[in-house]
């Protein structure tokens, strides 16, 4: 998601770097490079994440398209790599295979522009590289994920393909997933699992249509819909659903048991929705509590003029008439 316009960046550079006004992206890019090069050269410490850590060689790998990662790992006096414990792969070939998978699924490239490998500090005779290198292995709830039976979620390569294809993520955007590093379908699984209090983010596994496109596009075939369903079950067992939600679902079940009852109630709800305030386009701008949390930040799409059942019946009737006519 792009948050800044060229004008915003230009204003920032004028304020922070004393750069003359411009809307030329290449000029701004060159100014950023010049400034950052100086910062990298004078930095005492560079810190990076890690895409893969190769067990057989003790190598930290990071992949980028910009080259900034390589500068952070090689120019400062001390280099610190911070990595989740799930990033370890056995051999060099495994890292190379996953490199291709993450790039093709993430950006559609064959491979990223840079693949930086750090296997330790500078050795005697080396012209450059850090004098010290440290690796910080982070568990931070990952062992708990394995214990709870969700180890598959830790196979994630962070390629972002499931986000790009998810119809829910495309509508609600990354900010809806809170301050977690993971968003989209994989975020809906991992965020509650990493949280000390999963019930605090209980909505995430339920914010999915379970269409399954996330599983289809995932290069490591994580069965995200299955994990989401398992999480829903676990959260319900923990009593995460509020009473009004349980009551609403019971009421819906009662209504859906009989088609005539369901049709009547649907008609009544549709009619009542006409009494609610609307935008010029007909979308609902204010829903009654407890549904008003949605309309505090967004409009609610206007209800369809004809229900799915009406459309289905009409299509079936016209279709059968058409086949007889033919
Ligand atoms: S779950 Fe799969 S598709 Fe989604 S980011 Fe991870 S590796 Fe990519």
Q: Answer for the pair 119, 74: CB distance below 8 angstroms, yes or no.
A: no
For residue 42, CA distances in Å to 18, 36, 48, 87, 258 come to 20, 10, 17, 30, 73
Expressed in angstroms and rounded, the spacing between residue 239 Cα and the centre of ligand 1 is 29
List, edge to edge, every strand of the sheet that includes 132-138.
45-48, 78-84, 132-138
- How far does the centroid of ligand 1 lie from the alpha carbon of residue 160, in Å? 6
156 C-alpha to ligand 1 centroid (Å): 5
pLDDT 10s digits, 92-119: 999 999 999 999 999 999 999 999 999 9
Pocket test for ligand 1, best of 156, 213, 216, 227 (most atoms within 8 A of CB): 156
Q: Measured between alpha carbons, how far is 81 from 276 in angstroms, rounded to an integer?
A: 55
Ligand 1 atom showing the smallest separation from residue 163 Cα: 4
Instruction: Report how far ligand 1's centroid is from the alpha carbon of 87 (Å).
Output: 14
> pLDDT tens digits, residue range 197-248?
888 888 899 989 999 999 999 999 999 999 999 999 999 888 877 788 888 8
What is residue 68's three-state secondary structure? helix
pLDDT tens string 120-129: 999 999 988 9
Contacts of 1 (CB under 8 A, 6+ apart): 173, 174
Pocket test for ligand 1, best of 52, 108, 186, 223 (most atoms within 8 A of CB): 186
Percent of the residues in the chain that have a pLDDT greater than 90, as a whole number:
59
C-alpha neighbours within 13 Å on the C-beta side of residue 38: 6
Tell me, letter by letter, the H, E, C secondary structure of 147-209: HCCCHHHHHCCCCCHHHHHCHHHHHHCHHHHCCCCCCHHHHHHHHHHHCCCHHHHCHHHHCCC
Could you give the CA distance from residue 265 to residue 252 in angstroms, rounded to a whole number?
A: 10
Q: Which domains does the chain have, with CATH numbers?
A: 43-138 (3.40.50.10420), 152-237 (no CATH), 243-312 (no CATH)
Q: How far is the CA of 212 from the centre of ligand 1 (A)?
A: 13
Pocket of ligand 1 (CB under 6 A): 105, 156-162, 186, 217-220, 222
């Amino acid at each position: 998601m792009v948050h800044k316009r060229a004008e915003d960046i230009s204003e920032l550079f004028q304020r922070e770097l004393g750069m003359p006004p411009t809307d030329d992206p290449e000029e701004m890019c060159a100014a950023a490079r010049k400034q950052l090069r100086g910062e990298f050269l004078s930095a005492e410490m560079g810190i990076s994440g890690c895409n893969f850590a190769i067990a057989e060689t003790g190598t930290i790998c990071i992949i980028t398209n910009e080259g900034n990662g390589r500068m952070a790992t090689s120019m400062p006096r001390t280099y610190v790599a911070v990595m989740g414990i799930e990033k370890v792969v056995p051999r060099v070939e495994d890292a190379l295979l996953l490199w291709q998978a993450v790039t093709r699924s993430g950006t559609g490239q064959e491979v990223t522009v840079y693949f930086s490998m750090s296997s330790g500090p500078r050795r005697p005779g080396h012209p450059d590289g850090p004098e010290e290198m440290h690796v910080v292995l982070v568990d931070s709830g990952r062992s708990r994920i394995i214990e709870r039976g969700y180890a598959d979620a830790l196979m994630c390569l962070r390629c972002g393909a499931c986000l790009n294809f998810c119809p829910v993520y495309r509508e609600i955007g990354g900010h809806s997933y809170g301050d977690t590093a993971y968003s989209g379908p994989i975020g809906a699984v991992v965020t509650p699992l990493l949280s000390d209090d999963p019930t605090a983010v209980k909505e995430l596994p339920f914010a999915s249509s379970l269409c399954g496109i996330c599983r289809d596009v995932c290069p490591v075939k994580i069965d995200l819909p299955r994990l989401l369903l398992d999480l829903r079950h676990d959260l319900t067992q923990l009593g995460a659903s509020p009473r009004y939600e349980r009551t609403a679902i019971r009421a819906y079940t009662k209504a859906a048991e009989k088609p005539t009852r369901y049709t009547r109630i649907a008609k009544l709800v549709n009619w009542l929705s006409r009494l609610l305030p609307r935008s010029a386009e007909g979308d609902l701008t204010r829903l009654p509590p407890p549904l008003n949390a949605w309309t505090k930040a967004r409009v609610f799409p206007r209800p369809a003029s004809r229900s799915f059942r009406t459309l289905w019946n009409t299509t079936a009737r016209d279709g059968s008439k058409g086949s007889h006519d033919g």
